[in-house]
Homo-oligomer: A and B are copies of this chain.
């Protein structure tokens, strides 16, 4: 019997790297993760990524060169043709030659794309958006990323810039966003924005358990796990801040549905992963009110992502196979 074609899908995040070897049916044969340690810089991080992929391959007794390809989802903009990471703010990389570096070290073809795009593709192929004609993915984390898939194809747009859902305006003149503008949904409903709001409320004398939990756990930043713990401990301030974020995400989803009338809106990221529909239901409720066409509301499914930390590696694996099947160089740089 001919050897089965194997690819590796990798999710390169700001805090951890997650890699999986995937068979043609989307079955994960081996998976592992390491911390990114982004502060150690490009050379160290790309070496850790290589070592991780090598280790995952060893688990199933193959060399990395036996992989048909590796595809890496990168938290930033990439040029898949040259294998360059243009700009990845969370890693503090600019014009980093990740593709060639990994290709040399692993002895196989390496493709790059954006992490949110590959996660949305994973949810389309194997998760909450299986078979959707139009899938809108919204990933809420330190920022808010997005992707639009039409018939399973990632929408690139005229400049490769489609899917920047986090920078749709929700509150004109509102809080300043990392992008320099005001009132982007990322500046209002991301975890970073919730953290900022918690600090503002603390200054006003509101008492939140979040800060005690952070102290107790020796953490500085508001993580999804801290949000969930505070809610479980009955923290009213955290609940209020989360409701505000959900309300604005609901307005966002309502606007997107009025524009595109997609069949699925998948909401992912750490909070959605931990809370599931408890996070998504209030978003859906606000969005439903905004639908201009109220008929057949349920045809537009607004649902949590299903694959948790497997969505990006699985989506990257799907993309690797697609790129192998159509070897023309990318004409439009992936963001």
Chain A residues in the interface with B (C-beta under 8 A): 133-134, 146, 148, 150, 155-165, 167-172, 179, 181, 248, 251, 254-263, 289-293, 295-296, 299-300, 335
The reply to whether A292 and B157 form a contact with Cβ atoms under 8 Å apart is no
**Contact A158 to B134, CB < 8 A, known contacts A164-B293, A259-B148, A335-B293:** yes
The 6 closest A-B pairs by CB, nearest first: A157-B261, A161-B293, A168-B255, A162-B261, A158-B263, A164-B258
Report the minimum CB–CB distance from A198 to chain B (whole Å): 21
Task: Please report the C-alpha to C-alpha distance between residue A134 and residue B158 in the assembled complex, in whole angstroms.
Answer: 8
Query: Which chain B residues border A181 with CB–CB below 8 Å?
Result: 289-290
Q: How far is the CA of A158 from the CA of B195 in the complex (A)?
A: 36
Provide the bound-state CA to CA distance between A254 and B257, in Å.
17
List residues of chain B with CB within 8 A of the CB of A299.
158-159
Could you show 19 A-B contacts with beta carbons less than 8 Å apart?
A134-B157, A146-B259, A148-B259, A150-B150, A157-B260, A157-B262, A158-B263, A158-B300, A159-B293, A159-B296, A159-B299, A161-B292, A164-B259, A164-B261, A168-B259, A169-B255, A171-B172, A181-B290, A255-B255
Q: How far is the CA of A263 from the CA of B251 in the complex (A)?
A: 26
What's the dominant secondary structure at chain A's contact region?
loop
Query: What is the distance, in angstroms, from A110's C-beta to the closest C-beta of chain B?
Result: 24
State A274–B306 Cα separation when bound (angstroms): 51
Shortest CB distance A175–B (Å): 13
Contacts of A163 in B (CB 8 A): 259, 261
Contact A148 B260 (CB under 8 A): yes
A261's partner among B160, B251, B254, B295 (CB-CB below 8 A) is: B160
Residues of chain B lying within 8 A (CB to CB) of residue A150: 150
Chain B residues near A161 (CB-CB < 8 A) = 257-258, 261, 291-293
